[in-house]
Amino acid sequence: MEQHSDVETTNPRDQIQSDICLTCKHLPGCVHRSKQTTSILFCDLYEEGVWSADLVVAIIDKHSNERGGLISILEAIQAKYGFLPESALRVVAQRTGRSLVDIYGVATFYSAFTLEPRGRHLCSVCMGTACHVRNAPAVSEEFQRQLGIHPGETTGDREFSLETVNCLGACALGPIVVVDGHYFPQVNTRQVGEIIDKTQVGLDFVEVATDQRVFPVEVFCARCNRSLMDAGHPIDGHPSVRVTISFGRKHGWLRLSSLYGSYTIEAEDEIPEDTVAQFFCPTCHAELAGATDCPICAAPMVPLIIRGGGMVQICSRRGCTSHLLDVSGLGA
């Protein structure tokens, strides 16, 4: 208890940017923490012991001067708590001078935000036309049967939330299911139980040659809308994604695998582990920068537009394997 008292006097900005453990109720007996020698920025086990408005204030101050600051603030709060608590939205209103009605309007307009707690794992079943005619409704019903919930609900143990979406931008691979950002193409009802089991065990291990979650994407610059694909330099047997990067005093090309789920890269210069690089379009030279920070290491995420709709975001830190598939605005 004395340790928790000390936490309350710590600068809240330091808590946000360096270590979430200080406010976690599991800290006294946490085995995961005992294995770490560096600050922890994200943890599936994290559960805040006591609601703290100071943490929300630190998030607001961090993003308040950014373009689209309110969206960034709400994204960061949801990344922290898994949803947008009413108490947090009231703090946002007081701190930013916006009306609570306006903030609720933004929070309810974008389907990426939720006002209710979600489970640790989010399952999204595509119900777009291409998936629908390939029996996606039966896949959704099987998820409902096995999880015991309906779309928009969360299991009692807070492990799974289920939702249906209008389109995920990969129509040729339908029916599509996305779990925690991992794509599962051409899903049938027999595979639903296997997907749930894999999710509970962990979805991070990837075998590029055989894993059905790995599939090619074609990406474009968000500024000039020019393709970033380089057919003349294949990686993993597919055209690579070509960008320009800068770190320290280095400036050169970087090529990424276009297989979503693969972490294979090739670079002109060796990139030291843990380095955060800036990414640029090789055609228009605009920086590929978004408003979202990595939920694992807090480095900026790099947004890439996907042909057919949607966006994939990759972490700009060397060695971090975080990637997000953005389906905001596509919810049913």
pLDDT digits (tens, 9 = 90+) for 128-162: 888 999 999 999 999 999 999 999 888 888 889 89
Highest mean pLDDT among 148-162, 207-221, 313-327: 148-162
Treating both helix axes as pointing N-terminal to C-terminal, what angle do 53-63 and 86-96 enclose, rounded to 10 degrees?
A: 50
The CATH architecture one would assign to domain 121-203 is 3-Layer(aba) Sandwich (3.40)
CA distance 135 to 156: 28
Residue 33 has pLDDT above 70, yes or no: no
Measuring CA to CA, which residue among 315, 269, 328, 255 is closest to residue 42?
315
CATH 3.40.30.10 placement within the chain: 121-203
Residue 271 near residue 295, CB atoms below 8 Å:
no
Collapsing DSSP to helix, strand or coil, 312 comes out as: strand
Least confident of 13-27, 68-82, 218-232: 13-27
Read off the pLDDT of residues 266-282 as tens digits, 9 standing for 90 and up.
998 888 888 889 999 99
Residue 31 has pLDDT above 90, yes or no: no
Across 300-319, average pLDDT:
81
Measuring CA to CA, which residue among 308, 327, 304, 326 is closest to residue 316?
304
Residue 41 has pLDDT above 50, yes or no: yes
CA distance 179 to 175: 13
- The whole-number pLDDT of residue 315 equals 86
The token pair that represents 229 in the structure block: 């694909």
Which amino acid, one-letter code, is at 221? Answer: C
Across 106-132, average pLDDT:
84
CA distance 318 to 299: 10
The token pair that represents 205 in the structure block: 């291990």
More confident residue, 161 or 81: 161
- The whole-number pLDDT of residue 322 equals 67
The percentage of residues in the chain with a pLDDT greater than 70, rounded to a whole number, is 73
CA distance 174 to 126: 8
Residue 288 has pLDDT above 80, yes or no: yes
Least confident of 38-47, 155-164, 180-189, 254-263: 38-47
